[in-house]
Amino acid sequence: MPDPIVVIVVLVAIALLGAIIFGFIASTRNRSTGVDLEPPPRPRAERAGAATTTPTLERERPDLVTPEVPDVEPDVLPEPEPAPKPTLRDRIARARGTVSGYLGSVLSRSGIDAATWDDLEEALIRADVGATRTADILDGLRGRVKAESITEPAVLLEALQTDLIERLDVEDRSLHRAEGTTSVWLFVGVNGVGKTTTVGKLGAHEQAEGRSVVMVAGDTFRAAAAEQLQTWAERADAHFVRGAEGADPSSVIFDGIEAGVARGADVVMADTAGRLHNKSNLMDELRKVRRVADKAPGEVTEVLLVIDATTGQNGLEQARVFTEAVEVTGVVLTKLDGSAKGGIVLAIQGELGIPVKLVGLGESADDLVVFHPEEFVRALLATD
Ligand code: GDP
């Protein structure tokens, strides 16, 4: 006979083992069927229509109704503040970017050494100041460093800025106006530099200031130029004159000036053609435009040469050719926003003695601003 105690122990062991096996089977079954506990995802169409279909619960229980949402006006959000106008500094970020690394490296040294001068030279050359002018500027600066015992890089950069501002300083940068008659402003320059756009922007500005403007499409070789100018004139509420396509630009400009004077306009702004494929023809044509405009009533008080800043030293060459042909009274430097070559301003004023009067910083009407040397130099050479 087996010992009853042994029998009890064996039975308890069997019972325990059975419980363990049962528990294990139950838990694996739960796990394998766990996904079925989640409701299946609703088809896409049902999800999309969820907001418009009646919920199932409501269909089955008509006594349950969705409470009416009161028809209230959504809160009216305040008008957003107009974004602040980008500054000259923002607009010439690209030009500044080409020099700021060199200027930063100047500032990173504890004193002024040969590498400092190399950095300054590189910065000015990259800004398209031109090799001769750069050498001239640095010679002057070396003299100043000696005379004023400058030893700190930050003071040296301040002296450079002061020097450039002085170089750009001219007595009169204003747009000249005739007294007692209509002023005539001619816009010259090669194709694509931004003449038509400049006439449009400046015309819009003059109109906004309360002066009456006549815009004349003197670029009769490019139908698109006339259409472009007409759009500007319409937007600015200015009077617009154009000739037949291919007409003599001088006669169109003459007619435009006559019309302006007859209307008692304050300013007649004449766009001109800028084809460059035959330079001597273009220059002859411009001389003729000038002669004819002088014969017309009114008074030519500005001949503005429009130069594209992105063309760099090439723009300087254009300026030389134009100033030989017509008496240029001022420069409009366009596309300074897209240029890495802001230093061209120094080259133009320094070499030709013609003041840069306006700069173009973009394509819209507000993007033509009066040129301020100090603001420009500080924006170009900013290191912060
Ligand atoms: P035109 O042939 O000299 O009359 O040149 P347009 O006035 O037709 O201008 C040529 C292009 O330059 C156009 O796409 C203008 O919108 C653009 N443009 C003119 N001025 C500026 C400027 O200051 N900044 C930029 N970014 N584009 C300009």
Closest C-alpha residue for ligand 1 atom 19? 194
User: Is pLDDT of 25 > 70?
Assistant: no
Q: How remote is the CA of residue 308 from the centroid of ligand 1, in Å?
A: 8
Which residue did the predictor score with more confidence, 59 or 150?
Answer: 150
Q: For residue 119, is pLDDT > 70?
A: yes
180: CA distance to ligand 1 center in Å? Answer: 33
Greater confidence, 348 or 70? 348
Q: Mean pLDDT score of the chain, rounded to an integer?
A: 84
Name, in order, each residue with C-beta under 8 angstroms of 254's C-beta and a sequence gap of 6 or more: 292, 293, 295, 296
Specify whether the CB–CB gap between 290 and 300 falls below 8 A.
yes
- Residue 241, pLDDT score: 97
DSSP β-bridge partners for residue 184:
268, 300
Express as a percent the part of the chain with pLDDT over 70.
80
According to the model, what pLDDT value does residue 60 have?
A: 43
User: How far does residue 318's CA lie from ligand 1's centre (Å)?
Assistant: 17
pLDDT value at position 173? Answer: 92
Q: Which of 90, 92, 197, 232 to mutate to test the pocket of ligand 1 (most atoms within 8 A of CB)?
A: 197
Higher pLDDT, 234 or 51: 234
Q: Which of 219, 235, 286, 334 to mutate to test the pocket of ligand 1 (most atoms within 8 A of CB)?
A: 334
Residue 290: per-residue pLDDT: 95
- Residue 73's pLDDT is 56
**Per-residue pLDDT band at 257 (split at 50, 70, 90):** very high
C-alpha 192 – ligand 1 centre gap (Å): 6
* pLDDT higher than 90, residue 49: no
* Distance from residue 370's CA to the centre of ligand 1 (Å): 17
pLDDT on residue 223? 83
- Tell how far the Cα of 123 is from the centroid of ligand 1, in angstroms: 27
Q: Tell me which residues have their CB closer than 6 angstroms to ligand 1.
A: 189, 191-197, 225, 274, 334-335, 337-338, 360-363, 367
Ligand 1 atom with the smallest distance to the CA of 362 is 24
Q: Atom of ligand 1 at shortest distance to CA of 228?
A: 8
pLDDT tens column, 281-339: 888 889 999 999 999 999 999 999 999 998 887 888 888 889 988 999 999 999 998 87
